Amino acid sequence: MSLTPQESKYLESKIGRKPNPLELQIVAAEWSEHCSYKSSKKHLRILPKEGKRVISGLGYDSGVLDVGDGYVVTVHIESHNHPSAVEPYGGAATGVGGVIRDILSAGTRPIAILDGLRFGNIEKDNHAMWLFKNAVRGIADYGNCLGIPTIGGEIEFDKCFTNYALVDVASIGFGKKENLIQNKAEKGDWVVLIGGSTGRDGIGGSQFASDKLEAENRSAVQIPDPFIEKLVIEVILEARNQKCIKAMKDLGGGGLSCAISETADALGVGIELDLSLVHKREQNMSPSELMVSESQERMLVITDTKKLVALKKICEKFRVPYSVIGTVKEDKLMKVKLDKNTIANLPSQIVANAPLLDRPSSVPKYLKNITNIKKPKTPQDLSKTLLRMLSNPNIASKQWVYTQYDHEVGIRTVVKPGSDGSVLRLDNGKFLAAKIDGNSKHCYVNPRDGVMGCFDEACRNVICTGATPIGMVDHLQFGNPEDPEIFWTFKESVQAITDYAKYFKIPCVGGKVSLYNETDGGPIKPTPLIGVLGLIEKKPLVSQKIQNNDLVIIVGTTKDELGGSEYYEYIHDLVGGKCPTVDMKLSKKIQDAVLDLIQSGMVQVAHDCSKGGLGIAVSKLCITNDIGCTISLEKIPSEKLHADELLFSESHSRFLLVIKPADEKKALALLEKRGIPHARAGKFSGKDIVFQEKTSAIVRVRVDKAQEKWLNSLGALVTHG
C-alpha cells in the first residue's frame, strides 16, 4: 500500500513538501491502478466517445444516451474480481451494489442488471464450483432484494480462471433528461455522506485489486447489505425529485479518498471535511482507515443550505443514516480535519490525477505457433459429439442461474434471459435491447480478432431483437500490465474495439479496466467484455413459436475458424488454430440486411450463430421450440470444410432466420440483391435434429434427448457434482 519511488518524488515535487503518512495513504489509494487507470488511460483515449445520442461532460460515473421524448438511458459496467475470488458471495453482491450506485449517481433509476461470470473448470474443480455457486447466490440475493431485474448475461468456464473468478456486472438506468444531476457546486455548499456506516471492511480494497491475488486478504473484501442499498436508492431518487442534489458521487474503490478528491477535481472546487462527523460502525477507527474504507452502500451528495433540511428529512423518512461531513470551498484543496486539527491538505487535482505510465509492450511468444496446429480427426459419431457439446457447461442452458434472479420485477422485461439479447420496454413506447459478450478462448488465440468478434456477437444479439445498436461499454480484463506481453494484448484489444466502434458508429459510453487478474498459477487469458445497447423504435422481435414446415435461412459464411472454439477445446482439449475474424464491411451489410428483414415482419425468430457454431444454434432452436429440423450441409455457404468443422466452426457474422414458406422468395431475394452469402438451409418438422450431406444423415439426434442434455446438464452438475 504505497507509492513507487518515482511517484513519491513526483508527489513531493507537486506539493512542495513531504506528505504526511495519512496523505500518503490517501494518494496511494487514489493512485492505485484500480482507481487511477495509470497504465491504461493513455491508450483508452482512442476509443470513440461521441455520438448523436451521447450526453457527456457532466462527470458521471455512467454513460448517458438520449433515447428521445425527454428520456435518457444510462449504462455502466464494473467488475469485482479480486473480492469474488476470495469471498464469492460478498464479492459478487457488492459488485452489483457498486455499479448500481454509478447509475444512481447520474440521477437515473437502475432498471436492469446483466452479469458476466467466469470460473475454472467446474466439471473437475470443486473450488471453481464453490465460487460459481456462491457468486450466483450473491448476485441473486442482492439484485432480487433491490428489485432490479437481472435480465441477462453470460457465463464461461476455462482452466485459466482456476482459483480465480471474474464477476462483471453491468447496469442500465432510465430517467428523464431534465432530472439528470448537473454536478455543480459552489462555495458554502454542504457535503453529505448518505447510507451505510463506515467500518473496517474493504480497507485498501483498491490496492488489493491492483496486485496479483496472492494471499486471502479478507479485510479487503466488502460486506453487502442490499436492504440499505434499496433505501439509499429511494432516498436519492426522492432527493433528486425534490431538487436537493447539486452534485453526487458513489463511494466505491478508494472510499472517501477517491470520492472526495475526484468530486473536488471534477467540480473545480475544494472540499473540507471533518472525519469526526462520519457515521461509523466501529470504534476507534483511525483517520486512514476512515479515508480508505470501502464500506458499501454510501453516497456522497452535495447540496446547498436551502435544501439541506429537505435532504435530511428524506433520509429520516427512510431511516437512512447520514452525516454532514464537510463544506465546499473555493481553494481546490481537499482538506481533511479531525475535529479542529487539519490532518491532510492536498490539491485535489494532484490527488485525482496520478502520473500516467507508458508501459512497454511486446508480442507474446505463445502467439507465434498458436495457429500452427494439427487438426483433430473427425469423430466417428457426430451425433454423440453434438450431445456432448450440448451438455458442455459453456453451452448448456444457464436456466439454473437465471431462474434464481428476479428478471421480471419492474415489469419492463419483454424479451427474457435465455434469449439472444434481452429487451426492456421504456416509458416513451420504445424498447431497449441489451447484451454483454466475452470470449476468453478466442481472445487468447488472437486478442485483436477475438475482441472484435465479441463486439460483433453482442451487436448480432441485440439485432436479433430488432434493435439498432446505439452505444457500447467495454470491460478490459487482463493480467499484470507490467508484463509487456500482457500489456500488448491489452493494447491490441483497445485498438480492435476502436476500429469496430468507429466503423459501425457505435460510441463507447463507458467502461472499466481491470488488471492484475492473476494467481500463482499465472495470468488469466485476455478477457475483454463488450456490452451493447440497442434501441427499438416500434416493435421488438419476440420469437414466435416455430411451426411445422417453417424454414431456416442461414446468413453469412462458415469458415475454417475453429481456434478457440468450444469444439476444439471441449471435445479435443486443443488450444490453438485460427480464431474467427470479422470482415467489418461484410458484417455491416449482413447486420443491416437482417435488421431490414426483421423490420419487414418476415422473420419469426432470429438467432445468432456463435458459441458451438451452426450445430448448436440449430439445436437450440429445435430444443426451445420442441420441433425437429433437417439441415442440408452442402447448402451452407462455406469454405471447403469437413462436416465437424461445418457444424462447430464459430465464424462470426452469421445469423439463423426462421421464416414462413410464403416469405421464402421475398427474403431470399433481398439477401441475393445485397450480395450477402446465404442459403435456405433446411426445414422444421418431425422429432429429430438432422444434419445431412446430400441425403445421408451425418447427425441424427432426438429433440427430447437434446433437450435433456441442454436444459438439465448445468443444474445436474451443480446439484450432484
Question: What residues are labeled active site?
Answer: 34, 80
Nearer to other proteins, 305 or 403 (CB): 403
The SS3 call for residue 640 is coil
Taking CB under 8 A as the rule, does residue 410 contact other proteins? yes
Nearer to other proteins, 423 or 676 (CB): 423
Residues 640-659 contacting other proteins, CB under 8 A: none
Binding test (CB under 8 A) with other proteins, winner from 407, 430, 475, 654: 407
Binding test (CB under 8 A) with other proteins, winner from 4, 403, 428, 600: 403
- Rg (C-alpha) for the chain, rounded Å, is 26
Residues 199-228 contacting other proteins, CB under 8 A: 225-227
Binding mask 223-262 for other proteins (x = CB under 8 A): --xxx--xx-------------------------------
Smallest separation, CB 180 to other proteins (Å): 20
C-alpha cell at 263: 468530486
Binding test (CB under 8 A) with other proteins, winner from 9, 218, 243, 317: 317
Smallest separation, CB 231 to other proteins (Å): 6
Angstrom CA distances, 708 to 395, 438, 711, stand at 13, 26, 6
Measured in degrees and rounded to the nearest 5, phi and psi for residue 278 equal: -65, 135
Q: Is 585 exposed, middle or buried (0-12, 13-18, 19+ CB in 10 A)?
A: exposed
The region of 56-64, 410-418, 577-585, 661-669 touching other proteins under the rule CB under 8 A is 410-418
Q: Which amino acid is at 240?
A: R
Measured in degrees and rounded to the nearest 5, phi and psi for residue 527 equal: -135, 65
Nearer to other proteins, 292 or 414 (CB): 414
Smallest separation, CB 542 to other proteins (Å): 8
Nearer to other proteins, 95 or 138 (CB): 138
CB 98 within 8 A of CB 259: no
CB 293 within 8 A of CB 285: yes
Whole-angstrom distance, CA of residue 660 vs CA of residue 92: 44
Whole-angstrom distance, CA of residue 166 vs CA of residue 520: 16
Residues 6+ apart with CB under 8 A from 313: none
Nearer to other proteins, 119 or 402 (CB): 402
The region of 10-18, 396-404, 482-490, 629-637 touching other proteins under the rule CB under 8 A is 396-404
Taking CB under 8 A as the rule, does residue 639 contact other proteins? no
Nearer to other proteins, 233 or 301 (CB): 233
Taking CB under 8 A as the rule, does residue 196 contact other proteins? no
C-alpha cell at 65: 444516451
Number of residues engaging other proteins in binding (CB under 8 A): 29
C-alpha cell at 547: 411451426
Helices then strands, counting H and E runs in the chain, come out as 24, 28
Whole-angstrom distance, CA of residue 609 vs CA of residue 420: 10
DSSP state of 450: H
CB 444 within 8 A of CB 526: yes
Whole-angstrom distance, CA of residue 227 vs CA of residue 242: 23
Residues 678-717 contacting other proteins, CB under 8 A: none
Smallest separation, CB 562 to other proteins (Å): 35
User: How does strand 603-608 pair with strand 655-659?
Assistant: antiparallel
Q: Is 89 exposed, middle or buried (0-12, 13-18, 19+ CB in 10 A)?
A: buried
Per-residue DSSP letters for 34-96?
Answer: HHH-TTTHHHHTTS----TTEE--S--SSEEEEEETTEEEEEEEEE-HHHHHHSHHHHHHHHH
Binding test (CB under 8 A) with other proteins, winner from 206, 413, 565, 624: 413
Nearer to other proteins, 402 or 488 (CB): 402
Taking CB under 8 A as the rule, does residue 571 contact other proteins? no
Nearer to other proteins, 131 or 233 (CB): 233
Binding test (CB under 8 A) with other proteins, winner from 12, 408, 634, 693: 408
Smallest separation, CB 404 to other proteins (Å): 5
Taking CB under 8 A as the rule, does residue 1 contact other proteins? no
Residues 136-155 contacting other proteins, CB under 8 A: 140-141, 144-147
Smallest separation, CB 134 to other proteins (Å): 13
The region of 293-301, 398-406, 466-474, 682-690 touching other proteins under the rule CB under 8 A is 398-406
Q: Specify which residues 632 forms β-bridges with.
A: 692
Binding test (CB under 8 A) with other proteins, winner from 1, 46, 310, 409: 409
Smallest separation, CB 311 to other proteins (Å): 17
Binding test (CB under 8 A) with other proteins, winner from 38, 280, 335, 412: 412
Smallest separation, CB 425 to other proteins (Å): 6
Whole-angstrom distance, CA of residue 418 vs CA of residue 150: 12
Smallest separation, CB 141 to other proteins (Å): 8
Whole-angstrom distance, CA of residue 295 vs CA of residue 241: 27
DSSP state of 569: I
Smallest separation, CB 413 to other proteins (Å): 6
Binding test (CB under 8 A) with other proteins, winner from 30, 115, 250, 406: 406
DSSP state of 546: P
Taking CB under 8 A as the rule, does residue 458 contact other proteins? no
- Which helix (H) or strand (E) segment holds residue 704: the answer is helix 703-720
Binding mask 480-509 for other proteins (x = CB under 8 A): ------------------------------
CB 517 within 8 A of CB 523: yes
Q: Specify which residues 471 forms β-bridges with.
A: 533
C-alpha cell at 231: 433505501
CB 435 within 8 A of CB 461: yes
Taking CB under 8 A as the rule, does residue 368 contact other proteins? no
DSSP state of 220: G
Nearer to other proteins, 411 or 662 (CB): 411
Smallest separation, CB 536 to other proteins (Å): 12
Nearer to other proteins, 406 or 608 (CB): 406
Residues forming the site for other proteins (CB under 8 A): 140-141, 144-147, 225-227, 230-231, 317-319, 402-414, 416, 425
